[in-house]
Amino acid sequence: MRKDRIEKLLNKMAKNNIYQAIISSPPSLYYFLNEWFEPGERLLVLFVNTSGEVKLLVNELFPVNTVEEENLIKYSDSEDPLKILSSLIEKDKPIGIDGSWETRFLLGLMDIIKDLPLKQLSPIISELRMVKDVDEIALMRSSSLLNDSAMEKVIELVSEMLPEKYLAKAIKNIFEREGANGVSFEPIVGYGQNTANPHHMPTNAKLKDGDVVLLDMGCIKNYYCSDMTRTVFFGKPIETLKNIYHIVLEANLKAIEKIKPGLKASEIDATARNYIESKGYGKYFTHRTGHGVGIEIHEKPYISSNSEEILTPGMIFSIEPGIYLPGVGGVRIEDLVLVTDNGCEVLNRYPKDFLVI
């Protein structure tokens, strides 16, 4: 159990007039407990309050390794866990609820305790998880380096004989062989015109000479995610796509160069977006510039035009500008960056030079 992180949570709760809280999402439970749970249909929650009470309510089927007995409440299938949970709650005091808690549990609790003074807890947890500590940064570096190694092997496999679907499967196999615990999202593999869809789902399409190849992939290692996109070309590309590649690469580099503590996340988005707009492709950059990555593949901060988040050392997020021309193709180049005291560190090492296979 990470008592230091729980203490930070309790301090933030007190500042936000939240006396007690229920935490249910597996990623957040892992953040506070250093142990991953997949409870299925059974109730599993961490209950805390600002008086210092910390209790993990868990079915007796699940072994628990990181929580001391005094902080454990185990129940059997013959017991109603909501009644047990309700006995911990002080009925007239504000209670924060994790936004991912299943409605059936929340409604059941509200049937037991009428007029429960509910508050949103997720924004507070997101703020905590947004800034990584030294342990998390080490894990993120490790996951990103594994992604680099896998990307090198994947690009070696690109050929006219291998359809998108099979290359996507190969990515998963390579991650497994490299020591990953799984993928952080389903790999995006696109050939030719399919790359104009930023979230294209791999098909049986095969490569043709001159096609653009977009590879967006990430793994999970020790519960922390990686994310990287590279775009390469199979044979000589048309001039339009070659030009777009260099524009996207420059937007990526300019955004990374801009990053430093104290700036708004929206300023980083504007740096990439304004450059692409200056080249006449603004309407073809159809998504935000980046997103936070950690235990989950999409976390705060979001590097978007309306984000008010202030960059802080320890934040890790993607920088992934793209241009997508319907009927032609698309280019995206993505790196993970760590905000440092003076600027940032790029966690990916795999090259992003213009590459023709």
> What per-residue confidence (pLDDT) applies to 276?
99
> What per-residue confidence (pLDDT) applies to 346?
99
Domain boundaries along the sequence of the chain = 3-129, 131-346
* C-beta separation of 122 from 98 below 8 A: yes
> What per-residue confidence (pLDDT) applies to 157?
97
pLDDT tens profile 328-340: 999 999 999 999 9
Task: Please report which residue ranges of the chain form alpha helices under DSSP H.
Answer: 3-15, 26-33, 81-88, 103-112, 122-130, 134-157, 164-178, 239-258, 265-278
Supply the DSSP string of 238-297, one letter for each residue.
PHHHHHHHHHHHHHHHHHHHH--TTSBHHHHHHHHHHHHHHTT-GGG--S-SEEE-SSSS
> What per-residue confidence (pLDDT) applies to 95?
98
> What per-residue confidence (pLDDT) applies to 73?
98
> What per-residue confidence (pLDDT) applies to 179?
96
pLDDT tens profile 221-255: 999 999 999 999 999 999 999 999 999 999 999 99
Percent above pLDDT 70 for the chain? 100
Question: pTM of the prediction?
Answer: 0.95
> What per-residue confidence (pLDDT) applies to 308?
95
User: In CATH, what is the architecture of 131-346?
Assistant: Alpha-Beta Complex (3.90)
Other C-beta atoms closer than 10 Å to the C-beta of 254 total 17
Strand partners, 315: 131
> What per-residue confidence (pLDDT) applies to 225?
99
> What per-residue confidence (pLDDT) applies to 85?
98
Could you say which residues of the chain have pLDDT below 50? none
What homologous superfamily does CATH list for 3-129?
Answer: Creatinase/prolidase N-terminal domain (3.40.350.10)
- What residue type is 59 in one-letter code? N
* C-beta separation of 149 from 178 below 8 A: yes
Tokens 């593999």, residue?
Answer: 189
Strand partners, 299: 292
pLDDT tens profile 174-184: 999 999 999 99
